[in-house]
Amino acid sequence: MSTPVAVNLMQVRKQIELAVLAAGRVPGSVSLLAVSKTMPAQAVRDAHAAGQLAFGENYIQEAVDKMAMLADLPLTWHCIGPVQSNKTKLVAEHFAWVHSIDRLKIAQRLSVQRPAHLPPLQVCLQVNVDGGRNKSGVSPHDLLALAKAVAALPQIQLRGLMTIPEPAETEAAARNVHHQAKRLFDNLKEAGLALDTLSMGMTGDLEAAIAEGSTCVRVGTAIFGQR
């Protein structure tokens, strides 16, 4: 019995692998994060039954409630939404990854609050590449200093960058933003940081993101339907 979520997942995986091949990249080099925000626990179960293990959530309390309902499954949870100071403890205790760090203060709190029996929290810095005004993200100018400071925190492992481009008018414009994110990612690696994750690409722009070097696409709508 294949659920709609299972069918969609198969299509998205195929779309990713075709984009990887078209870009001349190594098969399997782009991972899929299923974004389950606002979706019921059953939708996550359906995705798990179809082989999906990594899930992204934006709203922390909603995510923690969902995790409790799904505690019988071996899932990996990624926080991809804004993290306020009053939510860092929940994030540190419940998530494996956070993609949306843009301030040292939040990273410091997460490091202090990460329980000692858990592996270090895996972190990406959210970078505001296109200067979208009402959006979070560290500016490219401040990125290197933030990356060095976060990488030095004991209970944090800095893995890479995350970006959420503004919807672009053209394919070329979309690729330009992704290209800039990839350059920032490469600059950090050249500066000596050991990074392996470039989290970019969603339902609407995953091909452009993969063409420009994304290693992790975060897909909600194409898997779970409209929110």
Would you tell me which residues interact with ligand PLP (CB under 6 A)? 35, 37, 58, 80, 164, 202-204, 218-221
187 versus 203: smaller Cβ distance to ligand PLP: 203
CB of 221 to ligand PLP, least distance (A): 3
Q: 58 or 155: whose CB is closer to ligand PLP?
A: 58
Smallest distance from ligand PLP to CB 209, Å: 11
Provide the minimum distance between the beta carbon of 99 and ligand PLP in the complex, in angstroms, as a whole number.
7
Compare residues 158 and 205 and give the one whose CB is closer to ligand PLP: 205
Shortest Cβ distance from residue 97 to ligand PLP (Å)? 12
Please tell me what DSSP assigns to residue 138: B
DSSP E strands, the chain: 31-35, 54-57, 76-79, 97-101, 121-126, 156-162, 197-199, 216-219
Of 37 and 94, CB closest to ligand PLP: 37
Neighbour-count burial of 154, counting CB atoms closer than 10 A to its CB (0-12 exposed, 13-18 middle, 19+ buried): exposed
- Residue 136 burial class via C-beta count within 10 angstroms: exposed 0-12, middle 13-18, buried 19 and up: middle
